[in-house]
Amino acid sequence: LTGVPREQRAFQYLLAHAIPGDPRHVLQTFDRWCYRGEHLSSVGPVKGRIVERLLRERAPLRVLELGTYCGYGTVLLAQGLPPGARLYTVAVDPRHAAVAEKVIRLAGFDEQTVELIVGPSEEVIPRLRERHGLPKADFVFMDHQKRCYLRDLRLLESHQLLAAGATVLADNVLFPGAPHFLQYAKTCGKYRCKVHRASLEY
């Protein structure tokens, strides 16, 4: 009705209410908007705790996020990074990427810590090493189109972008569901799999 996309409306709410440079407060403000204002398909606080726990356990130095959307997951990942770590996040939609960039910078993360890459994941992944300087990822968070999960995992494998012992965390594999990805991960013999039960965000 306003002509302003809901992602932009959410950012305007963040600007008005979030404390700049405080990533946790930025996320809490985002949650408040999604609970009381408009639903946005970000990872949310409940599943966010799983992400935070795994980051603490793994302490990865090179993290890849597929599916930036508005930057919620990016801020969640970035605040859990150990010193000296770097996060690469891939957004397919330039309009969402423009919002995410502002959210990430509002939370206090510069380009040395978080690099936002705009483009389809199937085009970005093959050039991550040469163009963006990502030798191998220790931690991958998939939260983009579910139909792309298996294709992109196999792309990461074929371009040798997964470090030994890397963690691949994929959201919403049961609902809306990524059955081919899940079957491959469980049966290919390369991974140890665990399903984390959680509710849908918000």
Where residue 88 sits, what CATH number does that domain have? 3.40.50.150
For residue 194, tell me if it sits in a domain. no
Q: Tell me whether the omega of the peptide bond preceding residue 45 falls within 30 degrees of 0, making it cis.
A: no
User: Is pLDDT at 2 greater than 80 in this prediction?
Assistant: no
Residue 1 lies in a domain: no
**64 near 90, Cβ under 8 Å?**
yes
**Closest CA relative to residue 146, chosen from 169, 126, 175:** 175
Tell me if 199 is assigned to some domain: no
The average pLDDT across 177-201 equals: 94
- Which tens digits make up the pLDDT trace of 21-58? 999 999 999 999 999 888 999 999 999 999 999 999 99
Residue 148 lies in a domain: yes
In terms of residue numbers, what domain contains 136? Answer: 6-188
In a domain, 193, yes or no: no
Q: Structurally, how many domains does the chain consist of?
A: 1
Which of 60, 57, 34 minimizes the C-alpha distance to 46?
A: 34
Query: What sections of the chain are H helices per DSSP?
Result: 6-17, 23-36, 44-58, 72-79, 94-106, 121-124, 128-132, 149-158, 179-187
Q: How confident is the model at residue 1 (pLDDT cuts 50, 70, 90)?
A: low
Which tens digits make up the pLDDT trace of 93-106? Answer: 999 999 999 999 99
Please indicate, yes or no, if residue 131 is contained in any of the structural domains.
yes
Nearest to 93 by CA among 85, 83, 101, 81: 101
Say if 196 falls within a structural domain.
no
pLDDT of residue 3: 84
Q: Which of 74, 32, 80, 91 is nearest to 56 (CA)?
A: 80
- Name the residue among 144, 7, 117 with its Cα closest to residue 70: 7
Active site residues: 143, 146, 171-172, 201
Average pLDDT over residues 76-81: 97
Q: Is 200 contained in some domain?
A: no
Q: Given this model, what pLDDT does residue 89 score?
A: 98
